[in-house]
Amino acid sequence: MEVIIQPNAAAATRLVARLIAKALRQNPGLVLGLATGRTMEQVYALLADMHKEEGLDFARCRTFNLDEYAGLPPEDNHSYRFYMNHHLFAKVNIDRRNTHLPDGMADDLDAACIRYEQAIQEAGGIDFQLLGIGHDGHIGFNEPLSALRSRTRVKVLTPQTMAANGPLFDGRERMPRRALTMGVGTILDSKRCVLLAAGTAKADILAKAVEGPITAMVSASALQLHPHCTIVVDEEAAARLEGKDYYRFVFRNEPEWQEFQ
């Protein structure tokens, strides 16, 4: 695991967008794992700008989102399909047939989860997985006590997640209680993971995930097991990290990061 500390949220977001763009230019057929949420909106805005201004090509890219709410149709403006269409897919030259989210409207949700795992495998696995982190340390909707070898499945959301996401709905009572999510094991199978976190509110949980014990209570801590995981944070989110000086030293001196200085 590598930790890269940027001076502010804008710089952290810009670095993550540049990492995705570099991976896509190196491999036009990139299989990209995507996340949602407020933190990712600026990442997608920057990628859309790169497509428009620099010709960043998404034509052969395939995407798999981490999760989707159960019971929300794709056209619902609270669904993650709607989110992805609005923030990225409609703004770049991606083939919508190559964009995938779990089917929250399936009659058999368990079968839909199995099909999603199969689709990822048929695509050759995820090359680059983008992640955020929840206030309780969840990645995707892998709430506390999610098994570290879990696969795509249906999860009941915690009251904390309901409280965090409820304001995005027209009243918390309208928010679905369940979601389909890639499992922790599914995420760890990706060839590369990049987690983006910003703001003071993420400082405590980020320190637990990065420098604390690996535990099912903080599903993001499982990323310590990943052979190629990069954590990109701003100064505020990095406030509780004990190894900050070392992380900065590595970023300044590792050859692979020179182009991003």
Q: Which of 57, 136, 204, 211 is catalytic?
A: 136
The CA distance from 52 to 47, in Å, is 9
Q: Which of 68, 117, 143, 234 is catalytic?
A: 143
First to last CA, the chain: 19
* Catalytic residue check, 67: yes
* Catalytic residue check, 78: no
Q: Which of 51, 67, 100, 117 is catalytic?
A: 67
* Catalytic residue check, 143: yes
**Phi and psi, residue 193, nearest 5°:** -120, 135
Q: Which of 68, 138, 226, 234 is catalytic?
A: 138
DSSP for residue 175: S
* Catalytic residue check, 75: no
Among 126, 134, 103, 109, residue whose Cα is nearest residue 189: 126
Strand-by-strand arrangement of the 229-234 sheet: 2-6, 229-234, 193-197, 128-131, 31-34, 62-65, 99-100
Residues belonging to the active site = 67, 136, 138, 143
